[in-house]
Chains A and B, each alone.
Chain A
Amino acid sequence: MTESNDSQQKLEQLIHRTLRELPPRKAPRTLEMRVLREIERRNAPASSSVAFTSWPLVGRAAFILVCIAMAKLSLVATSWGASRVLEALRFIPLNWVIGVLVFAAAMYAALFSLGAIAYRTLSIER
């Protein structure tokens, strides 16, 4: 055995002794509390899973009113938008409309292909 091997072995034994005599580190007091709190949080029912019938009365009434208002607003907006589009289409030649639709479809297909190629190149082949 060479002198270098001897000194390396001596160093290994010294470090082994030094590290093995260390007692386990004391876990912080907060650890137990954090774990218990997280378990409690996980076991509590999520707000989204609480039945509508068990909501407070004011909350249920407000929710119904908001839903009605939004439904009415979307109906008005849709009918207004549709009438405007139909009005505008009367002045646009049919060929243009078809051209725009074909262009949009081609762009969609091109982007889809690029995305698929990029995924295969960058992710799967890694």
Chain B
Amino acid sequence: MRSYQDMVFSTAARLTGNDAQAEDISQQAFLKAYENFEQLRTSPTAGGWLKTVVTRMAFNHLYRYRNRWRFFSDLPRNENEDEDVEPDFEAPDTLLAELDTAERFALIERELAQLPRHQRVPLVLYHFDDLSYLEIAEQLGISLAKVKTDILRGRRALAKALETKRVTAS
């Protein structure tokens, strides 16, 4: 358990953006692993199994009311809503490079957790889990266009928030 607990907790914490919920989900994932201990004991893919289980549990937790959420998200919207109407954000070469490493990591984690759920979840799946836009759309049960828009907006929001912190810190 000790070898995997940081990975399991990180996965849950980054998806939910909430440490207390992440701890509950991690506990459930390890209990599930305990139930399947005989199969996992000798399996070389135990880490991957745990990652899949914790991701699925985090989804279940986040989208407990998925049908209701999907119903509202599929309501007819303004035609231009999915289009990229925001002005382009001129990304710097690095973010918070002047801060020391621990401080920078803590700030990035905090800002990531503060993104709205519909931006944070696809962003985490894309950048940490290397899922494609299409795979994310299938997993979340939303349209490909929405996934792309949410990820783009999430990136911009995160970069802007970190830029603001840099200005405040300097």
A residues within 8 Å of B by Cβ? 3-4, 7-8, 10-12, 14-16, 18-20, 22-28, 30-32, 34-35, 38-39, 42, 126
Contact = CB atoms under 8 A, between A and B. Distances in A.
Q: Which of A3, A7, A28, A39 is the most central at the interface, judged by chain B CB atoms within 10 Å of its CB?
A: A28
Contacts of A34: 23, 27
Nearest to B14: A25
Interface in B64-93: 67, 84, 88-93
Q: Which of A10, A15, A26 is the most central at the interface, judged by chain B CB atoms within 10 Å of its CB?
A: A15
Interface of B: 1-2, 5-10, 13-14, 19, 23, 26-27, 30-31, 34, 67, 84, 88-95, 105, 108-109, 112, 123, 127-128, 152, 155-156, 158-159, 162
Given A7-B89, A32-B1, A35-B34, 7 more contacts: A8-B152, A11-B159, A14-B95, A19-B108, A22-B108, A31-B27, A35-B27
Contacts of A35: 1, 27, 30-31, 34
B91 A38 contact: no
- The 4 A-B residue pairs with the shortest CB-CB distance, nearest first, are A27-B9, A27-B5, A25-B10, A24-B6
Taking chain B's interface residues, is the majority helix, strand, or loop, or is none over half, making it mixed? helix
Contacts of A27: 5-6, 8-9, 23, 26
A32 B5 contact: yes
Given A7-B88, A31-B27, A22 B105 contact: yes
A22 B10 CA distance: 10
B19 A24 contact: no
